[in-house]
Amino acid sequence: MDVIVYAIVTMVIGVAACAGYFYGTNALLDRIYPDSGENAASNISKANAIRPWLFLAPAMLILGLYLVYPLFNSLILSFYDERGENWVGLDNYIWMIGDEKFLESLFNNAMWLIIVPAAATFFGLIAAGLTDRIWWGNIAKSLIFMPMAISFVGASVIWRFIYDYSGEGDDQIGLLNAMVTSLGGTPQAWITIPFWNDIFLMIILIWIQTGFAMVILSAALRGIPEETVEAAVLDGASPLQIFFKIKIPQIAGTIAVVWTTITILVLKVFDIVFAMTNGEWGTQVLANYMYRQSFIQLDFGRGSAIAIVIMILVVPIMWWNIRNAMKENT
Amino acid sequence: MGGVGKNPALVWVVNLSAILLVVLWTIPTFGILVSSFRDRDAISTSGWWTALSASEQSLVARAAAPDDAEQRGGQWVIEGNVFGDAEGSLNAWGVRAQEPTAFTPGETTELRSGGVMQVEADGAYSITYAEEPEGRRGDRIFYTSAVPPSFSTENYDRVMTSEGVAQSFLNSLTVSIPATVIPILIAAYAAYALAWMQFPGRPLLIAAVVGLLVVPLQMSLIPLLEIYNGVGQIFGVPAKTYAGIWLAHTGFGLPLAIYLLRNYMVGLPREVIESAKVDGASDFEIFMKIILPLSFPALASFAIFQFLWTWNDLLVAKVFLTSSDNQMVLTGRLVELLGSRGGDWEILTTSAFITIIIPLIVFFSMQRYLVRGLLAGSVKGG
């Protein structure tokens, strides 16, 4: 209970400090450059030049310390040895190219990047198309969307239960094996089967992300002007034709956004692999391997180098995002 | 909707497909919910989907000792019921562990001790001996019986009291609440400046925020841990503290917060803000009295994201908090249980449900704002 009290007290102090900072600095600025008196005009313009930075300072400080500085620091650390003491040049990167586990992670990540965003967007599109035309659509949406709220670790436990394996001939308590045996197949230890186990892990993330894709695509579908659809109906198009030939091309931009958002998530995803297999049986991915190198093997050089690789993979998306945002703001 | 509503066959197809989709998406969660209320033996011997029907269990009972046999018409007889005083129904029985289901109710078998045993469907057994038997240990009777479904909150009691889950629940709250509140204020001020104040470099800063949205937080872990270690050494405090993780979550959440809030604030009516300025209100007053109250929907949607994110986070907590009992968060605890209690599904399903219950409550009560935030955050810029 003490910790909770401590948390609440800190929260109150934190909020008060934030409010105090803004109130205090603004009042101070008004006192230094009062907006009345002989120099009113020049005071106002001086104050107006400073004030935005008062509003921005805390955010810039934290962003700088927690995101921008680490970016450069990681880059530098990736050229140092495991303790971060001696310069080793490109050694960490050379190690990487020759390291089997790293190549496996890279390959697996590529698989995740191809399959998960595609599948989640696809199912999201189907879910949006279906739920938009039934009377209980909102309830259906809520239920499909629900896994979004569940932690990756929680989802991993949920799915590990589904993939659970008991010896052949025993009662299967895992849903998947129970279905397989009831159809006459032999039960499998799903998460240890090379290659396919990756797919079984991906299903977890697809299950989580489909709701996200559905919500956004459904909003986009609703934004399609009625006239285009009506014209197609008059021309005798079937519902499927309307969906694929009229509606989907009009929401292509949104599909791209959903796709990229899920792609970014996939690059960073760590928890599912960590909780399900911890990278065993050929399921390693970059984010988990980075954690392993950094915090289990305590090799900060190699860990940083892997983090840089993840960063490099994100850069094109980052650039695309910025370009889009700039276009919108002009 | 595209003239589809008139075709009854298509309406059926659409409804059925939607039902299939919903079932597929809810069954996994439903499975652990049901399992978390079942007892240990039931979970490990039968699938959760059988929980509502009576399940067949293999059990063993011991007949009364031969010494207690009663003489009856030249024979010695032992009688009793495998269910004791309770009621039950017996499907098969046997007297050897290797063949627990050798006989059907009503059949008889000769025992090695010389008696003849008969067991009925209601559990009543009788052993008849021709001569007075001896012995203090009764014979074992193996039987299978249909056990009616039973649900209890026993697993929850157990997990909350003995597996450290209750403590972790509090730890998770301790991490999440300040880590949700603190970034909101900081981001709101910055978002206001980026939305409504004129200054050189503004477009550049907006672009920077958008860029930072996608920076993988893995990048930050090692440099930050080194800073924390350094700070800890200088001031003689532990490197891994709650304050440290609050700030870390603040840093990682800020880009999205600033981005969402700015997008929302830009859309507020210009006239309101300008007329307030004409009336002599300062930026600080406008922010506190106009912008903040009007931005409530955006603030709420960010709060939900940040809360779900911090509550569900594993990586940041693993790096910036210790794995001691008074710092381990729920997700970390669950991973630990996966390792140490891998096959104890009564513990895993119950703990998993405890970790997801708060997010689910938040989700179902605030879904409106969550969706609004997603739409503002994704459809607009990306």
Residue B379 is predicted with a pLDDT of: 41
**Average of per-residue pLDDT across A42-69:** 86
Q: Which tokens in the block code for residue A147? A: 């896994």
CB contact under 8 A, A55 and B173: no
Q: Which tokens in the block code for residue A23? A: 């109130």
Burial class of B361 by CB neighbour count within 10 A (0 to 12, 13 to 18, 19+): exposed
Is it the case that residue A101 has pLDDT exceeding 60?
yes
Is it the case that residue B377 has pLDDT exceeding 80?
no
Q: How far is CA A194 from CA A100, A103, A116, A201, B334, in A?
A: 15, 15, 18, 12, 25
Does A9 lie at the interface with B, CB-CB under 8 angstroms?
no
CA nearest neighbour of B206 among A268, A321, A45 = A321
Residue A23 is predicted with a pLDDT of: 84
Is it the case that residue A275 has pLDDT exceeding 90?
no
**Average of per-residue pLDDT across B330-335:** 86
Instruction: Judge contact between B198 and B274, C-beta under 8 A.
Output: no
Of B10, B283, B331, the CB nearest to A239: B10
Phi-psi region of A259 (alpha: psi -120 to 50; beta: other; left: phi over 0): alpha
Is it the case that residue B1 has pLDDT exceeding 70?
no
- Strand-pairing partners, residue B96, are B99
**Average of per-residue pLDDT across A138-144:** 87
Residues of B in contact with A47 (CB under 8 A): none
Of A14, A271, A295, the CB nearest to B314: A271
**pLDDT tens, residue by residue, A148-198:** 888 888 898 888 888 888 776 667 777 887 787 888 777 778 878 888 888
* 3-state secondary structure (DSSP) of residue B153: coil
The most confident of the ranges A161-165, B337-341, B359-363 is B359-363
Residue B345 is predicted with a pLDDT of: 81
Is it the case that residue B73 has pLDDT exceeding 60?
yes
Of B44, B338, B349, the CB nearest to A275: B338
Q: What's the CA gap between A63 and B255, in Å, rounded? A: 8
Number of helical H runs and strand E runs in chain B? 14, 8
Residue B113 phi/psi, 5-degree rounding, is -75, -5
Alpha-helix residue ranges (DSSP H) falling in B163-314: 165-196, 202-212, 218-235, 242-266, 270-278, 283-286, 292-294, 296-312
Q: Which domains does chain A have, with CATH numbers?
A: 3-78 (no CATH), 93-328 (1.10.3720.10)
Residue A120 is predicted with a pLDDT of: 92
**pLDDT tens, residue by residue, B190-206:** 998 888 888 888 888 88
Residue B381 is predicted with a pLDDT of: 33
Query: How, if at all, do strands B70-72 and B75-81 pair?
Result: antiparallel
Q: What's the CA gap between B354 and B361, in Å, rounded? A: 11
Instruction: Judge contact between B223 and A74, C-beta under 8 A.
Output: yes
**pLDDT tens, residue by residue, A232-268:** 888 888 888 888 888 888 888 888 888 888 888 888 7
Domain extent listing, chain B: 55-150, 157-376
Q: What's the CA gap between B114 and B185, in Å, rounded? A: 85
Is it the case that residue B5 has pLDDT exceeding 60?
no
Residue A33 phi/psi, 5-degree rounding, is -115, 75
Instruction: Judge contact between B312 and B331, C-beta under 8 A.
Output: yes
Instruction: Judge contact between B364 and B243, C-beta under 8 A.
Output: no
Is it the case that residue A119 has pLDDT exceeding 90?
yes
**pLDDT tens, residue by residue, B136-161:** 788 888 888 777 777 777 788 787 87
Provide DSSP, A140-156. HHHHHHGGGGS-HHHHH
Is it the case that residue B378 has pLDDT exceeding 80?
no
**Average of per-residue pLDDT across B172-182:** 86
DSSP state, residue B96: B
- For residue B55, what pLDDT band results from cuts at 50, 70 and 90? low
The arrangement of secondary structure in B157-376, i.e. its CATH architecture, is: Orthogonal Bundle (1.10)
Residues of B in contact with A321 (CB under 8 A): 210-211, 213-214, 381-382
Residue A3 is predicted with a pLDDT of: 67
- For residue B2, what pLDDT band results from cuts at 50, 70 and 90? very low
Is it the case that residue B6 has pLDDT exceeding 50?
yes
Tell me how close the Cα of A110 comes to any Cα of chain B, in angstroms.
16
Q: What's the CA gap between A126 and A247, in Å, rounded? A: 12
Nearest residue in chain A measured CA to CA from B312: A151
Does A25 lie at the interface with B, CB-CB under 8 angstroms?
no
Residue B380 is predicted with a pLDDT of: 38
Predicted ipTM of the assembly: 0.86
Q: What's the CA gap between B288 and B192, in Å, rounded? A: 11
Q: Which tokens in the block code for residue B66? A: 């031969």
**pLDDT tens, residue by residue, B239-270:** 788 888 888 999 999 998 998 888 888 888 88
Q: Which tokens in the block code for residue A272? A: 């599912």
Residue B382 is predicted with a pLDDT of: 32
Is it the case that residue A145 has pLDDT exceeding 60?
yes
**Average of per-residue pLDDT across A116-120:** 92
Residue A288 is predicted with a pLDDT of: 87
Q: Which tokens in the block code for residue A214? A: 């559905």
Residues 6+ apart with CB under 8 A from A243: A129
Instruction: Judge contact between A159 and B352, C-beta under 8 A.
Output: no
Nearest residue in chain A measured CA to CA from B207: A322
Instruction: Judge contact between B41 and B54, C-beta under 8 A.
Output: no
Q: Which tokens in the block code for residue B10? A: 């298509």
**Average of per-residue pLDDT across B76-105:** 80
CA nearest neighbour of B170 among A130, A95, A138, A7 = A7
